[in-house]
Amino acid sequence: MGSKVVIRVDASIKIGIGHVMRCLTLAEALKSNGAEVSFICRAHKGHLIEQIEQKGFFVFRLLLNPSTELLNNGEVTDSNVATTDLTYAAWLGATQQEDAFECQVFLKEYAPRWLIVDHYAIDRIWQSALTKSNQKLMVIDDLANRKHLCDVLLDQTYGRAVQDYQSLVPKACHSLLGAEYALLAPSFSQWRAFSLQHRDAPSFKQLLITMGGVDQSNVTGQILDFLNTLSLPNTLQITVVLGATAPHLTQVQRQAKTMRYQTQVLVSVDNMAEIMANSDFAIGAAGATTWERCSLGLPSMVMMLANNQQQIMKVLSEQKIALVFDKDALPKALSDLVHLSKNQLKQLSLNASNVLDGLGCERVVKILLDLT
């Protein structure tokens, strides 16, 4: 590729880590194709700046003004920040104009060919402030709820249609829609054949719990509590995966030691594809890991943790790709695990595996190369 690429993305206790993780996957793929990739991130509480740097990428750090720090409920202490009608405006830690101005300081000096933005708090206001720059702009979104000024729009939601963005992006914009463009690490396509073969003889011995890297409300702990009351196979082994910034990590680690079923807690893993491929069933959040589970045909029960996951939940339910439930129905949903049949597991696996092949990142990189 031989071009410079800058990615504007954030992680925090409120935002979670999913946006950064999928951008890291894209960055690695771009880097392997010769691109020089850098990041711009604001230092919210729960940021992943050091982790990005450990992967070998430069990060231009936007400082966090104490008066605009994200609070636990997603609000900010400075009322001037939320000056747009964006639902997630408070997640930026500044106004869009302020954020764009700060980014421009680095962009002018670095002069990237591509600027990639993955942020629910950014729309055409931020983008128009940078239109004088010469770089091309790609937006990664899942919401289809605001207007963008971009050359490429990526929404990896399964079933996403062109009309969802028709009035939100320029006519010349290249829209990459659907799970075939899901930004999964190469390891998922590499483990796909093994994982699908594993599903030929369904069992319920390895249970995986992934309620997001942060799991701010400690849904993981609630799930473990309920599982401890169920009569599941004594040989059941439970694996919990959390991020290093998860606020309830220590509590979950202590809880795991008191479980009636053998339970391990893994932190910030680099081999998620391998873990999923060797699991028999998963309980997870309806975020980006949904597509990881689908690529491996992993039967799963999915819970909505945020309002922005409604579209995913709707598709998963209608297409019978996963068992879905909301937080209020947690006891009933987990009780149903006892009655899961091998035929149900097999059908869930088949439906999930038909969603995508795990090669989406390769497709996206090829398109960016063609447009460079």
Cα atoms in the 13 Å half-sphere on the side-chain side of 29:
23
| Strand ranges across the sheet with 300-303 | 262-267, 237-242, 206-210, 281-285, 300-303, 323-325
Better pLDDT: 27 or 81: 27
Superfamily of domain 186-353, CATH level 4:
Glycogen Phosphorylase B; (3.40.50.2000)
Q: What is the pLDDT of residues 193-221, one digit of tens each?
A: 999 999 999 999 999 999 999 999 999 99
Could you tell me the two tokens for 350?
């088949």
Evaluate whether 17 touches 52 at the Cβ level (below 8 Å).
no
Q: Where in the chain is the domain with CATH 3.40.50.2000?
A: 186-353
Q: How confident is the model at residue 183 (pLDDT cuts 50, 70, 90)?
A: very high
Q: Where in the chain is the domain with CATH 3.40.50.11190?
A: 4-184+358-371
Q: What is the pLDDT of residues 356-372, one digit of tens each?
A: 999 999 999 999 999 98
Q: What is the CATH number of domain 4-184+358-371?
A: 3.40.50.11190
- Give whole-number Cα distances, 216 to 17, 226, 305, 344, in Å: 11, 18, 10, 31
- 């999928």: which residue's tokens? 22
Query: Residue 290, Cβ neighbours under 10 Å: how many?
Result: 28
pTM for this predicted structure: 0.91
Q: How confident is the model at residue 255 (pLDDT cuts 50, 70, 90)?
A: very high
